[in-house]
Amino acid sequence: MEEYYKNLIYYLPDIIYQIDARGKLVYINDSVKKLGYDPEELIGSDFSVIVAEKDRRSTNLLNFIADNGSGGRVEGPGKYINERRTGNRITKNLSIELLPRDRTPSPGEEICGEVFATGLYENAPDGSRRHSGTIGILRFSDVDRKSRMNLVRLEHHYRVLLENSFEIIAILAHDGTILYISNSVERNIGFKSIDLIGENIESLVVEEDRRVVENIFRKLIAIGDAGKKTEFRLKEISGNWKYYETMVTSIINRDRNLTMCYVFHMNDITKRKTIETAGLKREQMYKLLLRTSPDAIFLIDEQCDIIMANDQAVALTRCPREELIASRFFDIIKREKEEGPENLLEQIKETGILRDVPLTISVSGNAPLPVEASFSIIKDSEKPIGYLSIIKDVTSRKRVEEEREKLKKELLKILFKRLSKREVELLHHISRGFAWPEQKREIGKAMNVQPSTLDQFVYRIKKKMELTDLLQIARIASIHFGWPPAPPAQ
């Protein structure tokens, strides 16, 4: 990948150059051949050799010749005063006229360019930063017809690779200053590439992730390698942010064993991170649900072996988790009725879901506990691969129901003790099938009392039992006293 980016820079239509602190060229790519120069012969020369005479003083790009006031010239080391040596910004869009090697352009045929440049720095032993040179891009802004055709042909491949990519490709200086960034940055986060040249990459990074970028450069400076792919977030022009997976490649001048710049290859992984984050949240939610659920939860495979049991399942069975896992579910769960587990499994497979099935649970000789279990089938491509069981401990509820039933019986004893024998006898006749009041006379004959007396019995029965439905009272009395059911009607 490093060789790929090195070749990319080597064949860019723009002139990529690096000069040392004295203004001498230490690297320049093949694009300078458009001016008729061999890149190798320029190494060690002043950058000014490719700049037209009229711009050597006026552009403020270099001040390599100083006028001593008497018309003479004093030559000294190159002084690059447009590098913005604070490291926060760089020279950009600086227009100059370029000087071809073997001719002086005629009026109207001048070759113009724009310079983007930034200073390079090294850490001195005393902790200060020492200027060590400049790296820059010189972009042709006007060429003759033949050069323009060649430039268009070369730029076609360049732009297909960079500008039409959905990934962001940036060339950064040692301090993070953006020397180049592909137009895809506008499609990704909304900023125009021309506005970002000269800015520091940290200005695009979400504040909480800037330490990640600092670590990248720390590794690059220390060992020349940023390590594996790194993730951080870039701010959008709207104020939102996106996740990017970034791979960094150092571009090295092999002849001088110097790192020229770094290529950041940034790929939008926001959707993937969103899915991963949502999945993690769901996983955490499920884990929290399992931990906090008041019910026992079992995950059972197709062979009915337990493969997961939550904390409440361990508490309910009073069995260590390691013993529960891989135990057969139906070895600890029994049906109250004499039906085997196969019957229950068939019902689950047939319906997909079973709710509130009465069962008992018992492990390691502990007393059976009454429970209610709900089951749902787990499928993979319509094929059953297991079952989920949620079990409720109904011991307390059963106890409450038994107590309630006991209280009801005690209450009935008290109420029926209030009734006289004749009143109980009347209820017995009604429970045996005599209709009230339609068969009032028949009941009177059987009891040898007047019908009007029966009305008085009924009034007192309703008052004592605190109910208005005489037939309901008769049914309760039948259960309470254990009377045989009424014979079927003829």
3-state SS assignment for residue 105: coil
**With left for phi above 0 and alpha for psi between -120 and 50, is residue 106 left, alpha or beta?**
beta
The pLDDT assigned to 62 comes to 45
Max Cα–Cα distance, the chain, nearest Å: 155
Q: At what angle do helices 440-447 and 451-465 cross, to 10 degrees?
A: 90
* Pair 403, 397: CB distance under 8 Å: no
The pLDDT assigned to 266 comes to 92
Burial class (CB in 10 A: 0-12, 13-18, 19+), 411: exposed
CA distance 294 to 311: 9
Selection from 144, 146, 158 nearest residue 30 by Cα: 158
CA distance 140 to 107: 17
CA distance 170 to 226: 15
The pLDDT assigned to 468 comes to 87
CA distance 18 to 486: 113
Residue 19, amino acid: I
Q: At what angle do helices 421-431 and 440-447 cross, to 10 degrees?
A: 130
Contacts of 453 (CB under 8 A, 6+ apart): 444
The CATH number of domain 10-146 is 3.30.450.20: yes
Query: Half-sphere exposure of 215 toward its Cβ, with a 13 Å CA cutoff?
Result: 11
How many C-beta atoms surround the C-beta of residue 362 within 10 A?
15
Start-end ranges of CATH 1.10.10.10 in the chain? Answer: 417-481
Residue 228, amino acid: K
3-state SS assignment for residue 91: strand
In degrees and rounded to multiples of 5, residue 328 shows phi and psi of -80, 130
The pLDDT assigned to 151 comes to 52
3-state SS assignment for residue 440: helix
* Pair 13, 125: CB distance under 8 Å: no
For the chain (490 residues), the mean pLDDT of every run of 10, in chain order, is 56 80 87 89 88 69 36 39 45 82 72 83 77 84 54 58 75 89 90 91 92 88 77 93 91 75 90 85 77 85 88 86 84 68 76 84 74 86 82 78 76 79 88 88 88 88 86 85 71
Burial class (CB in 10 A: 0-12, 13-18, 19+), 135: buried
Scored b (16 or more CB within 10 A) or e, 136-156 reads bbbbbeebeeeeeeebeebbe
DSSP state of 339: -
How many C-beta atoms surround the C-beta of residue 35 within 10 A?
21
The CATH number of domain 417-481 is 3.40.640.10: no
**With left for phi above 0 and alpha for psi between -120 and 50, is residue 482 left, alpha or beta?**
left
Selection from 341, 325, 342 nearest residue 333 by Cα: 341
Start-end ranges of CATH 3.30.450.20 in the chain? Answer: 10-146, 162-289, 293-393
CA distance 144 to 81: 30
CA distance 351 to 462: 48
Residue 236, amino acid: E
CA distance 136 to 27: 10
Scored b (16 or more CB within 10 A) or e, 465-488 reads beeeebeebbebbbebeeeeeeee
In degrees and rounded to multiples of 5, residue 297 shows phi and psi of -120, 125
The CATH number of domain 162-289 is 3.20.20.150: no
DSSP string, 5-35: HHHHHHT-SSEEEEEETTSBEEEE-GGGGGG
CA distance 423 to 462: 10
For the domain spanning 293-393, the CATH number is 3.30.450.20
Could you tell me how far CA 169 lies from the centroid of its own chain?
A: 25
Residue 433, amino acid: G
Helix (H) or strand (E) holding 464: helix 451-465
| Residue in the block written with tokens 């006028």 | 67
